[in-house]
Chain A
Amino acid sequence: MIRMANQIAAFYEPYTRAEALKGIHGHIHSFWEPRMRKQIYDYIDGGAEGLSPLVTAALSDKK
């Protein structure tokens, strides 16, 4: 899961930060099942180790 999130972040790397955050957030909310979303949010709450800072930032706003 961490790897998948980081892969998404890597794709959005060349975009501007605002677009990247929106893109990552949108992608995870459109394609990830609620169980997986909860897992990643929990993971961020637990310290987000190894997770791309872009992902953490993208998912910081709301659940």
Chain B
Amino acid sequence: MTSETQPLTLIKEKDFGTKAAHAVDNRMVTLEIDGREVTVPDGTSIMRAAAELGIMVPKLCATDSLDPYGSCRLCLVEIEGRRGTPASCTTPVAAGIKVTTQNDRLAKIRKGVMELYISDHPLDCLTCAANGDCELQDMAGEVGLREVRYGYDGANHVFARKNGEQNEMWQPKDTSNPYFQFEPAKCIVCSRCVRACEEVQGTFALTIDGRGFASHVAAGMDEDFLASECVSCGACVQACPTATLIEKSVVDHGQPEHSIVTTCAYCGVGCSFKTEMQGERVVRMVPYKDGGANEGHSCVKGRFAFGYATHKERILSPMIREKITDPWREVSWDEAIQYAADRFKATQAKYGKDSIGGITSSRTTNEEVYAVQRMIRAAFGNNNVDTCARVCHSPTGYGLKQTFGESAGTQDFKSVDHSDVILVVGANPTDAHPVFGSRMKKRLREGAKLIVVDPRRIDLVKSPHVTADYHLQLRPSTNVAVLNALSHVVVTEGLVDRSFINSRCDKEDFARWEKFISDEKHSPEATEALTNVPAADIRAAARLFATGGNGAIYYGLGVTEHSQGSTTVMAIANLAMATGNIGRDGVGVNPLRGQNNVQGSCDMGSFPHEFPGYRHVSDEATRHLFEKQWGVKLSGEPGLRIPNMFDSASSGTFKGLFVHGEDIVQSDPNTNHVTHAMESLEICVVQDLFLNETAAYAHVFLPGTSFLEKDGTFTNAERRVNRVRPVMREKQGMAEWEIVGRLATAMGYPMMYTSASAIMDEISALTPTFQHISFKRLDEVGSIQWPCNDEAPDGTPIMHIEEFTRGKGRFMLTEFVPTSERSNRNFPLILTTGRILSQYNVGAQTRRTENVVWYDEDILEIHASDAEMRGIREGMMISLTSRMGGTTMRAKISDRVPPGVVHTTFHFPMNGANVITTENSDWATNCPEYKVTAVQVTPSNRPSDWQDEWEVRERENKRIEKPLVAAE
């Protein structure tokens, strides 16, 4: 709950009609509109200049998220001394002109235009779902339309039948998309949807078919929306001025009455949304134009897939049980918390202080993560705290800290608008970070060059109006060799940016690296056999990157989830420094984070060797700071990391685990090893929304809150701290930081916070990079990118501008070391894993939404030649086995993967993709090697043993004594 005193309103963002202009040399132009003087940047439309004055010229086809089109002719104006009535949306301002936006002549023309529109539009305003939020209705009102002289007897799109016969112009409603509908009878063919799909989303799923009066909007090849290429981002729905494209939730519930701005809880882009509400019911989510990360765009997950928050399987009562084979018993909060505290204490008494620990979540708020790590360090009295970020981006933190001095990406998302060459390594932005992917595609359509390093042909390599200049389709696990080869070319062909090196980097380290990388063994020719990438392509790509202007590198889990993850991150940093691509707009090294708060959970001290703000636990000064604040002695020894926790559990020295908001059993590699470790625990407490796979091994279940109920902050991949605001009360009755505080208190360490905002105040008092961040500041300015302190009071969109955080940039030697996981006769294929747009990670949320219409099981992609050799056909059930275990799933023949490589996702538990992944991990951080597993694939007709066991466990370990209380 929140105690905000501001009255709620429905936020209506002003529509300026056309985009803000960016004038060359900031040239400004002064003109007169309706007798008022206004000064705007050169290139601004007359419509926008008028809107700056507060004069809103009537319009239909223009909106400020799109380029002007000039088709509706409603926005006409007069300009003194010019003939005719130009459209104000497409006519730019000029110095000294005098514009008239309204007089009798203009009014008459506008009325005529509206009359024509309305004569081909149904008149059912009162019962229309867009009633109250329809621009056509507004314009009819504004121009004072009082009568329509033409009847519906003639040609129209409105009625199914005309003069008793079928009306060829009429098209039925398309309700195939689960979240929005398309009702062509209401369409005014303004093409805003078509332009939104092209310009904002970049999918090109919509077109205007036909000509003149017969023209109409068509999805794909005149298919329904679900069958078309549409990715359900909703940009077209948002752009539509009428009820033609509209959310089904608005059709069902009506127009919202108030809205609250909050942050999406799915991916690391961190989009801002207006949550539009009726009471405590969410009617729809609308991306917020002022959102720093998304500027008004979103993807299907954030905009539509929030139904899981009220899903009937959500658990709302605390539960306990003696043994994991017992059924769950619902109890009060006090009882559950006391029970958990007693068992943790008993375990410590029996096995020692270090026998328990906890895991923080990358899905929860900074404040919640901070509370959990404090509970572990202060109440548990050890540093056995780790985060699920371990399994995805820990090498980023390590690699970038070593080279640049800070564990974070260097740019804001906007920076890509200034990039000339974009290098994407092991990332799939259009699926995993869709809103940023759209932004990148936009820049590519404007002409930026693209180099993709990926074993799989991701969508970016070839999609409408975007083609990669080079796709370096490397053999999985050879990232370091490819990056070294690129750097080798840069160095040996004399393409190094010497002035950058001289002024910004440590010279000794550079000289040594230069010698190292120049070695013939790193050349593209020498590594070709290893990497499978033609040497000529590497040379050409390296030249392009070094000489093509601003070069930016974006990378993802395809880089980090390898035994050489940290080395790869360093190799990327080396390449960026060698080419001088750090410290300004358009360049940089940018990790694309998986979960929404990966960055935040790392910042908040989730690692066993670091306090909040990445300060080592052995650092006396820092430790004393925390000891003073927390009033307790703290350990200066690093604690256990997640894989070490499992190992120690198996070997009997680790006995108690607190798991917050993560499904480690489903998401961690080598499921069999993990489950064995989980079974050896004497106390496991899970705090989550659902009885997930991990809860099957738990003794206490503490129900958590969805992001719609949370008060706090998330930090996205560009270090942007965004507010998360509660739009409804906690459904289980307690904020998550309070649960954690009570648990710590019950263990004998009083830790009671009064609000999430108080937790942030403690964070900023103790963490130099957060010095000036507070809820109050965030509410004022919207969002802040850390570091935000005395040197950078407004935050830091781009890092390392004058110098690196560590002073001089440091080149690291990055020797390629082949992984021990290799294919052989028994396991001849290499499996890599990934994700797809409509589902999210372990899928706990998205699986519980309508998003399953796009993807309802994990599928194995296999190349036609590998499939043929094994007698596998499209859609066939196959068995997938590795040294570690086996599972079955459906096969899809695909030329996205090269021969020898297969690919799957891990969104659905019963497919158990991690049953087969190994416990290999990154040398520096133990980040598991998800991306490389040697496997065999054979046709199959029965589930694997593991799947049989899973079904039994699903039934047995999740029993609850009382019938489930439904969420709604």
Contact = CB atoms under 8 A, between A and B. Distances in A.
Interface of A: 1, 3-4, 7-8, 10-11, 13-15, 27, 30-36
B815 A33 contact: no
B865 interface: no
A30 B384 CA distance: 14
A27 B923 CA distance: 10
Closest 5 CB pairs of A and B: A7-B923, A14-B813, A10-B817, A33-B640, A14-B815
B638 A32 contact: yes
A35 B923 contact: no
Contact of B638 (A13, A14, A31): A31
A1 B516 CA distance: 29
A11 B923 contact: yes
A39 to B, nearest CB: 9
B921 interface: yes
Nearest to A8: B923
B609 A30 contact: yes
Interface in B810-825: 813, 815, 817, 820
B648 interface: yes
A10 B566 CA distance: 13
A33 B644 contact: yes
A25 to B, nearest CB: 14
Given A4-B923, A30-B618, A11 B648 contact: no
A4 B921 contact: yes
Looking at A1, A7, A27, A34, which has the most chain B CB atoms within 10 Å of its CB? A7
B616 interface: yes
Contacts of B644: 33, 35-36
A11 B563 contact: no
Interface residues of B, number: 29
A13 B648 CA distance: 29
Contacts of A33: 354, 383-384, 608, 637-641, 644
A3 B813 CA distance: 21
Nearest to B640: A33
B924 A27 contact: yes
A30 B608 CA distance: 10
Contacts of A32: 638
A11 B820 contact: no
Nearest to B607: A31
Contact of B609 (A1, A10, A31): A31
Contacts of B616: 30
B926 interface: yes
B813 A15 contact: yes
A interface: dominant SS: helix
A8 B637 CA distance: 20
B640 to A, nearest CB: 5
Nearest to B920: A3
Contacts of B609: 30-31
B770 to A, nearest CB: 23
Looking at A3, A11, A34, which has the most chain B CB atoms within 10 Å of its CB? A11
Interface string B595-621: 000000000000011000000101000
A34 B923 CA distance: 18
A33 B813 CA distance: 26
B419 interface: no
Contacts of B639: 33
22 contacts: A4-B923, A4-B926, A7-B563, A7-B817, A8-B924, A10-B815, A11-B566, A11-B815, A11-B817, A11-B923, A11-B924, A30-B609, A30-B638, A31-B638, A32-B638, A33-B384, A33-B640, A35-B640, A35-B644, A35-B648, A35-B653, A36-B640
Interface string B538-581: 00000000000000000000000001001100000000000000
A35 B813 contact: no
A36 to B, nearest CB: 6
A30 B609 CA distance: 7
A30 to B, nearest CB: 6
Interface string B647-679: 110000100000000000000000000000000
A14 B516 contact: yes
A24 B925 CA distance: 13
A36 B563 CA distance: 19
A24 to B, nearest CB: 11
A33 B641 CA distance: 8
Nearest to B926: A4
Interface string B327-359: 000000000000000000000000000100000
Interface in B355-393: 383-384
A7 B929 CA distance: 13
Interface string B466-507: 000000000000000000000000000000000000000000
Given A10-B923, A14-B813, A30-B638, A3 B516 contact: no
Contacts of B815: 10-11, 13-14
B461 to A, nearest CB: 31
Interface in B893-930: 921, 923-926
A35 B640 CA distance: 9
Nearest to A33: B640
B786 to A, nearest CB: 23
Looking at B567, B641, B644, B653, which has the most chain A CB atoms within 10 Å of its CB? B644
Contacts of B923: 4, 7-8, 10-11
Contacts of B925: 31
A36 B223 CA distance: 60
Contacts of A13: 815
Contacts of B926: 4
A34 B640 CA distance: 9
Contacts of A10: 815, 817, 923
A15 B925 CA distance: 20
Interface in B622-646: 637-641, 644
A7 B816 CA distance: 11
B947 to A, nearest CB: 30
Contacts of A15: 813
Looking at A1, A10, A27, which has the most chain B CB atoms within 10 Å of its CB? A10
Contacts of B563: 7
Nearest to A14: B813
Contact of A34 (B516, B637, B820, B924): B637
Nearest to B354: A35
A32 B923 CA distance: 12
Contacts of A35: 354, 640, 644, 648, 653
B484 to A, nearest CB: 11
Contacts of A4: 921, 923, 926
Given A1-B647, A10-B923, 16 more contacts: A4-B921, A4-B923, A4-B926, A8-B924, A11-B567, A11-B817, A14-B815, A15-B813, A30-B609, A30-B638, A33-B354, A33-B637, A33-B638, A33-B641, A35-B354, A35-B648
Nearest to B383: A33
B323 to A, nearest CB: 27
Looking at B609, B638, B639, which has the most chain A CB atoms within 10 Å of its CB? B638
